[in-house]
Structure 1
């Protein structure tokens, strides 16, 4: 499945722009009727479309995008996937239709759309993952990014083919904590605007993501603090990103730990403390051992 004209709807030849123009009073109403949106939703979209740099005819060219948007590699990939006119422009009707499509689409559809954007719908190998992660973790060393890409590839590529397919990507994303997944894929056409006319989505705000306890069917005694500290002692100086993920932590949460605690030993200890606090009676020795074994820390698991 590719994110192209067959998935993101176009404007059927720009029929609305042939009937009206941004200078006419029915500009908003005509688009609302054509796209099945409310006038309030279309008004918010029109403000955002203007902020992106559309011209007086209500169409948007890549060269008109704000400089910070043009230099964002992900925005460039998204822009590339939109249906365009013969002149290479995105009409406001296409923008409205795409916004509605994003809002109404299923979780699986949104996940597959994200995959299509990352590499034009083609499989993701380690080099592509390094390129993507380098754009996300700008302050991390290349070595850290390569290590993260390698861990991610091993985790998602369950066939061992050396690349991640669309189905593998979609299957893996659905295993992320529910709140994290919802925050990533949440998109609504009925956004509120502030006093300056900026939509909520156009003002980036870093909000904490609530972690959901990793579900487990393993029973038994809860891991003691001494056991957690013993585990931390033996994994902190190794590559424990996969271990953190097996415990239910996202890369964003691991990055927050790395930012908030100076030493790797402290980071590992805090990770395990948070895991126990989040899971309560489900933070069992058996579930901890399973996460260790699945992360290639077999010798550490055997100590418990």
Structure 2
């Protein structure tokens, strides 16, 4: 697995190919072995992280900074760099590696990622807990870290080895939850299954991922609410209201529909951190820009353990 391997080589395209080149997206697609929609989505993500629209490279120390949460920061900084910069090609390759890795490979890479493959001592584990519960006070963080350490090690030592971590994850009661957490797809399945063009020369690199699907919009029966149509405003309001309930993981639903963590954070800020308004705004954006059908929304709800909401559509 390419991610979290600091010894991996820096890969890039020839200096003459830049983000302003007509073949920027297509060249990366061919080099990384990805489809056009996949590379376009990754380019959107890469720019959101702070990559230069002139050079196509990302310097985490300068560009990303506050845009990255703890986990994203660890991932980005694990990628190979030249002069402190990460190439877009390396980012594409890393994301492709994650998507195609086995569960075992992903777990081993996660362990490697957080302390360069060394044992996790108490301070490393505490940082992980703080990244998950950023609003909790020190007492809660300490108590949670103590509990997690004893769970990983069965109280036999005060550090976590790779085997401790793997054993805990393999024996986790709800393995479906682990599978869902480790699941990663660059783009939603309905976009990935689109036939790739044989001739890529006329691709417009400024189009967003899935833009060509807009040509099919007239073939959808808008507003009727059937599975092959676009979901109605009322359906999106219903989903948003129910997904705003405390026990619902609305962020996971948006991830499944193709939104990145950065896009979700931006959505929260734009909507005053109101869950209902955020979910509704992003579902509306998904429906109108992909376009997204009722069937795809139902499938995403079912994949994220919200089948009861899916049944109401």
Same fold per superposition (TM over 0.5): yes
Pick aligned residue for 2:260 from 183, 192, 201: 201
Pick aligned residue for 1:37 from 34, 37, 53: 34
Q: TM-score, normalised by structure 1?
A: 0.58
* Contact 1:41 1:190 (C-alpha < 8 Å) held by counterparts: yes
Q: Secondary structure at the match of 1:122?
A: coil
* Contact 2:18 2:24 (C-alpha < 8 Å) held by counterparts: yes
Q: Distance in 2 between matches of 1:67 and 1:125?
A: 25
Gaps of at least 5 residues in structure 1 are: 206-304
Relative contact order, higher structure (CA 8 A, sep 6+)? 2
CA displacement 1:216-258 (0-9 Å, x = unmatched): xxxxxxxxxxxxxxxxxxxxxxxxxxxxxxxxxxxxxxxxxxx
Q: Distance in 2 between matches of 1:41 and 1:194?
A: 9
Residue aligning to 1:279: none
CA displacement 1:178-224 (0-9 Å, x = unmatched): 231123211112246699xx95124338xxxxxxxxxxxxxxxxxxx
Q: Distance in 2 between matches of 1:121 and 1:4?
A: 10
* Contact 1:125 1:153 (C-alpha < 8 Å) held by counterparts: no
Q: CA 1:65–1:83 in structure 2 vs 1: closer, same or farther (change >3 Å)?
A: same
Question: Displacement of 1:155 after TM fit?
Answer: 1.7
Residue aligning to 2:295: none
Q: TM-score, normalised by structure 2?
A: 0.56
Q: Secondary structure at the match of 2:260?
A: helix
Q: Distance in 2 between matches of 1:51 and 1:180?
A: 28
Residue aligning to 2:5: 4
| Residue 136 (1) aligns with residue 195 (2) | no
Task: State the superposition RMSD in angstroms.
Answer: 2.7
Residue aligning to 1:189: 186
What count of residue pairs does the alignment treat as equivalent? 197
Residue aligning to 1:47: 44
Q: Distance in 2 between matches of 1:10 and 1:43?
A: 23
Question: Displacement of 1:127 after TM fit?
Answer: 3.0
* Contact 2:32 2:92 (C-alpha < 8 Å) held by counterparts: yes
Gaps of at least 5 residues in structure 2 are: 192-208, 212-256, 266-313
Question: Displacement of 1:30 after TM fit?
Answer: 1.1
Residue aligning to 2:74: 77
| Residue 111 (1) aligns with residue 111 (2) | no
Question: Displacement of 1:10 after TM fit?
Answer: 4.3
Q: Distance in 1 between matches of 2:177 and 2:121?
A: 24
Q: Secondary structure at the match of 2:5?
A: coil
